[in-house]
Chain A
Amino acid sequence: MIPSLGNFSLWLALFFSIFQFIISHKKNKHSVLQFNKIATNGLLLCVLISFFSLMYSHVVSDFSVTNVFQNSHTTKPLLYKISGVWGNHEGSMLLWILVLTIFNYFIYKLYNQKNYIFISKSLEVQAIITIGFLFFIIFTSNPFERMIPAPPNGLGFNPLLQDPALAIHPPLLYIGYVGFSAAFSFSVATMSVSAKEKIPWYTYIKPFALVAWTFLSVGIAFGSIWAYYELGWGGWWFWDPVENASFMPWLLGTALVHSLITVEKRKSLQSWVLLLSILAFLLSVIGTFLVRSGILTSVHTFALDPARGVYILTFITLLGGYSLILFGIKSKNFLNKHYFSIFSREGTILVNNVLMITVCASVFLGTIYPLLIEVFSNNKISVGEPYFNSTTIPIMIPAILVMGIGPMLSWNKVNTTKILKKSFPSVLLSIIISGIFFWVYRHYNILGLAGIVLAFWIMSNILLALTQQLIAKNNKFIQGSTPKYSSGMIMAHLGIALLILGITGSSMWQKEKIMRMKTSDNTTIHNYNIIFKEINKITGSNYIALQGNFWIYDKKNNIIAKLKPENRVYPVTNNTTTEASIHTNLLRDLYIVLGEGDINNGWVIRIYYNPLVIWIWIGAFMIFLGGLFSIKNSLKFIKRLTL
């Protein structure tokens, strides 16, 4: 009964979304408002019912529902029965739609006396997107399909996906992608409506763009965290096509949130904001397409029908074609005659835009190039990590340099000598700190040097900015001329600095040791002594495992940690996984993986010494916090508008 309720709610949601689309064409202002109230509330309610019906079916293990049968099993722990709802194609599409309707509702809540036309148009565009996804899910990917007779148990579930980080990864990403849908709708609405209402449209875009970017950042971070501790090689980014699919909207999102600042403060870069809003969303949907169409294989792809791919692609063509053509025609109305110099805060944001788009274009090229080659020749090639590293890192370096100095510049043109004067303290500071760093560590290579210096460059600039603000607080004379730094920016930029620190440390100075060890053997890695104490058989909730016990001693023979890597077998799906065991501190991770072997010959043991890894996650978290602060500030503005 519940699954039928879920399916019925989906159909009802479709009708509400069509209703929302149609009513925006009515002339009567009052009735449009009322009808939109019905539409947005109804949509949200229906999708909530549908989503929780699916969740209910998973939790009670109703195997008459095909989706539950294919992805669940009675022995799955409750947490993963719940996250299993979105760990498959159909359920994850339902989650997409849920987030879409939640944001749809929030857009509706923004209605006030002054923005009626604008919000109505935005709701119309949002309705089209929702209709598209609802059609897709109902007709090609319905999670409520039934199986008669209901089998006694399900196909189990990939044990690799039974993990807290991976459970939360999709919802965070979808908030990101869907947030961009709101920016998209506002952008199209801005260009479609005449200037009858003087709307600060960018003030509406800003909170949604920030939410999207913030949650996309943390969603990507969780994916990487998972890869790091689950996949067993201490790696956390593989330039896999689907990772790229989330990275590209992030890059455009970064350009977008920065451009929104200039539009707000200086009214420039308006057409950039409009275009970036469109492109970020289009790339999000193209990413969805790449994962689910079966057009390429990657770690993430759901095994799917090309038929579904054709549907999504058609949807992208219509949506993208319409919005880009609209942009082509209307963007000239948003050209602003305000010219700014490159050597100013605005200028650095423009530089940032250009660089982010360049990286995005290169990543896009590398991702689809194998497909292009396949079409135009009979050959197949791979475009892997070496390509992406070579093309993105050289461009990120100047971007980071600019990122340091940018916020320190004023909005007006700054002449070059003043820039040098302003940046001199931080240049000095970064050199000093980097010098100390290398004096302590004594490992040099060019990229490593670059990474460390860049990280400290950002941090020095932030330190300088904070000092300036502190001085200005207590000195009324200079309060006026000191630029105010937003807390969001400080935190997010600091986060990037820490991220770079962590990335550089873990990539450049990783140490690896692979050897065969028997119990009571010992080995050393970077001043640590590691003893393989024993090996045991253990049982978990739905697996049995072989667990190794390793004792780690430091130089002074104090015991630091006892690491217990495992090899697990899940009897239901007959999968085997390895669980690395990691000891973390601020300076390094010690990471041990248990390979195959036996009591007579010993086991293959892989030990990694990964310096500074934790700073990657700390940095990502700071970026998230910075984003949250910025969202809070941008909501203040919207509140003022909608009162």
Chain B
Amino acid sequence: MRKQLLIFPSIIFFFVLLVFFYLLLIDRDPKEIPSALIEKKVPNFETQSLLSNKKFISMEEFGYKTTIVNFFATWCKPCREEHRYIKRLSNEKDIKIIGINYKDNSQRTIKWLKELGNPYSNIAIDSNGQIGIDWGVYGIPETFIVNAEGIIKYRHVGPITKKIYDNFYLKIIENKK
């Protein structure tokens, strides 16, 4: 009876070690949180549009074309670095990119876009971060892929870098179908 008692904890010991090994060997970021919005419909929101006098109404923006949603701000250094890749993505056919200007100053953003280029078909102003909360944003930049039916398919946290670009691009192609 004692022997069996002792085998049990040893099994647990090795099982736990296996879990640790697995977690170490796969590519993961312990700080990253998976999005709770994957496979769900895009949140509805209405706000000001940055570059036009019209309102930004989310219902009008989604549901017909594959859309990239990029949360960005001028005070965010990594956003500045990823901007060229966002611009590159805007060259892709049959998709559009929406920017959400997160807790920023509109004048500064317009200047920023003038300087760096504007890949966005439309830009929503999220002045107090509440739209970000509705999208489960916790650290910008964050970029979402929304398919043509308005379902959120993928989220990337952090800047799109050279290393990540190809993978992200493939994800877009995947969801274009």
Contacts and interface: CB of A to CB of B under 8 A. Distances in A.
Q: Do the two chains touch directly in the complex (Cβ atoms below 8 Å apart)?
A: yes
Contacts of B17: 313, 316-317, 320
Interface string A370-383: 01101100111000
What 3 pairs across the A-B complex have the smallest Cβ distances?
A306-B24, A328-B6, A309-B24
A296 B7 CA distance: 29
Contacts of A532: none
Contact of B30 (A296, A320, A321, A327): A296
A368 B24 contact: no
Contact of A293 (B16, B24, B31): B24
B3 interface: yes
B20 A295 contact: yes
Interface string B1-34: 0110011011001101101111111001011011
A297 B7 CA distance: 32
A371 B20 CA distance: 8
Given A293-B20, A294-B30, A310-B21, 8 more contacts: A289-B20, A294-B24, A297-B30, A306-B25, A316-B17, A320-B17, A324-B13, A328-B7
Contacts of A317: 14, 17
A534 B7 CA distance: 67
Contacts of B7: 328
A313 B2 contact: no
Interface residues of A, number: 29
B34 A332 contact: no
Contact of A379 (B10, B20, B28, B34): B34
Interface string B150-161: 000000000000
Nearest to B21: A313
B6 A371 contact: no
B19 A375 contact: yes
Interface string B27-45: 0101101100000000000
Given A328-B6, A378-B34, A380-B33, A295 B14 contact: no
A322 to B, nearest CB: 11
Contact of A328 (B10, B19, B33): B10
A325 interface: yes
Contact of A375 (B6, B14, B23, B30): B23
A331 interface: yes
Interface string A295-307: 1110000000010
Contact of A295 (B9, B13, B23): B23
- Secondary structure class of chain B's binding surface, majority of residues: helix
Nearest to B9: A324
B142 to A, nearest CB: 16
Given A294-B30, A331-B6, A375 B13 contact: no
B30 to A, nearest CB: 5
Contacts of A378: 34
A74 B17 CA distance: 42
21 contacts: A289-B20, A294-B30, A295-B20, A295-B24, A296-B30, A313-B17, A313-B24, A317-B17, A320-B13, A325-B10, A328-B7, A331-B2, A332-B2, A372-B19, A374-B23, A374-B28, A375-B19, A375-B22, A378-B34, A379-B34, A380-B34
A324 B10 CA distance: 7
Nearest to A324: B10
A316 B17 CA distance: 9
Nearest to A325: B10
Nearest to A296: B30
B27 to A, nearest CB: 9
Interface string A115-148: 0000000000000000000000000000000000
A297 B31 contact: yes
A63 B3 CA distance: 56
Contacts of A293: 20, 24
Contacts of A295: 20, 23-24, 30
B144 to A, nearest CB: 17
Contacts of B10: 324-325, 328
Contacts of B20: 289, 293, 295, 309, 313, 371
Nearest to A332: B2
Nearest to A317: B17
Contacts of A309: 20, 24
Nearest to B16: A368
A321 B33 contact: no
A372 B20 CA distance: 9
Contacts of B16: 368
Interface in B29-75: 30-31, 33-34
Given A327-B6, A371-B19, A379-B34, A321 B14 contact: yes
B61 to A, nearest CB: 28
Interface in A383-436: none
Contacts of B21: 310, 313
Contacts of B33: 380
Contacts of B3: 328
Nearest to B20: A313
A321 B7 CA distance: 12
Nearest to A321: B14
B49 to A, nearest CB: 33
A368 B14 CA distance: 14
A375 B23 CA distance: 7
Interface string B109-133: 0000000000000000000000000
A375 B16 CA distance: 11
A452 B6 CA distance: 39
Contacts of B6: 327-328, 331
A324 B11 CA distance: 11
Contacts of B13: 320-321, 324
Contacts of A327: 6
Contacts of A310: 21, 24-25
A259 B25 CA distance: 39
A222 B152 CA distance: 48
A380 B20 CA distance: 16
Nearest to A306: B24
Interface string B71-110: 0000000000000000000000000000000000000000
A508 B9 CA distance: 37
